[in-house]
Amino acid sequence: MSLAQPIEKKLDISNEGAPSAAELKEARKERIFTGINKASKFLDAIGLSWITPILMIAAGDNPREQGKALWMRLGIPILALLIFMFAWAQLAPTVKTSLGAIPGPSQVWEQAQVLHKDHVAEKLKADAFYARQDTRNEALVAAGRGSEVRDRIYTGKQTYYQQIWTSLKTVFFGFILATIIAAPLGIIMGMSPAMSAAFNPIIQIFKPVSPLAWLPIVTMVVSATVATDGNMSKSFLTSAITVTLCSLWPTLINTAVGVASIDKDLVNVGKVLKLDAWTKVTKLVLPSALPLIFTGMRLSLGVGWMVLIAAEMLAQNPGLGKFVWDEFQNGSSQSLAKIMVAVLTIGIIGFILDRFMAALQTMFTHSTNR
């Protein structure tokens, strides 16, 4: 007994202060919760906020509390969509147009499948064309007539997916051009009250101008300055520049407001440290104004996407706008359902673009607040 007692005391001393298994488990759970909370900001930005309650339940949080959050974030939106689909299916046949009744969800889905099948069939035709071309070129090379080898591009009709891709390229080209113009000019306006006063009347005059008013002017300018279609077609440039002219204003205004309203203490710090203009802009102005700049960019991209459809219709640039116009002119019994497919596609892509910009804002600013 006398020998055992010191050993027991030593064991007690060695274990003293060490966390128990329960404490270790609780600490690990807290780390998991912290990680989920950090990830939730990004999930919220991309429209997947409903994933957070599922992760919290899996990590061991209160199922009842997280279940309520899941119902609010996922259950209610799904229920609202189902009610909308039911109302659409019931009311659509009662609305008659020159092309027949408004198509319901089943007819729209049917035409979406038709468009997909058309894309697959056109892709098979393109693959067969290139296979025949490769075979012919190989035969010419084998016969010693390599100078006659020609590589031609398949000129079949654009499929629905290709028209979507064309629209995306056009809107991003116009949006990037608008950002390159608007962001620096907004910084200059925000830092200089005189420049802000000078540009403000111009902004107020041109900001409300419709894309339908800009389009004829842009068309004439592009036609006069671009001799032939090169890497970029005239219709593409016309649509993209129209998007630029209509979408640069939100970025310009928000950038100017964000820069002008930065904390005056930061401005004073810059004066005390005698920072040069570049350092002042990159180290003080931009970090503070970035949330508002991103808000302006999100608005600009949304405006650009809306403007693009009208621009493509009138400029006849291959894209979703031209697809809608062609189907309207076609006037077949399936045209209205295909137009509805395009409408839903435009809306879904617009939502994805907004979530994309929100995700970028979260990544670069860590907050939507100043």
Give residue 182's pLDDT band: very low, low, confident or very high (50, 70, 90). Answer: very high
Q: What pLDDT is stored for residue 271 in this prediction?
A: 74
Amino acid at position 34, single letter:
T
DSSP string, 138-154: HHHHHTT-GGG------
With beta carbons less than 8 A apart as the criterion, state whether 298 and 354 touch: yes
Check residues 164 and 232 and name the one with the higher pLDDT.
164
Closest CA to 368 of 103, 359, 62: 359
pLDDT at position 7 over 60: no
Query: At 332, is the secondary structure helix, strand, or coil?
Result: coil
Torsion of CA 345, 349, 351, 352, to 10 degrees: 140
| pLDDT tens digits, one per residue of 86-133 | 999 999 888 888 777 889 999 999 999 999 999 999 999 989 988 998
Structure confidence at residue 4 (pLDDT)? 46
pLDDT digits (tens, 9 = 90+) for 193-202: 899 999 999 9
Q: What tokens does 327 get?
A: 């189907």
Place of tokens 């995700």: 359
| pLDDT at site 88 | 92
Confidence of residue 313 (pLDDT cuts 50, 70, 90): confident
Token readout for 60 is 């061991």
The share of the chain scoring above pLDDT 90, in percent, equals 39
Residue 244 has pLDDT above 90, yes or no: yes
Beta strands in the chain (DSSP E): 96-97, 100-101
Query: Do residues 262 and 292 lie in contact, with contact meaning Cβ atoms separated by under 8 Å?
Result: no
Residue 101's pLDDT is 83
pLDDT in tens, 263-281: 777 777 777 777 777 887 7
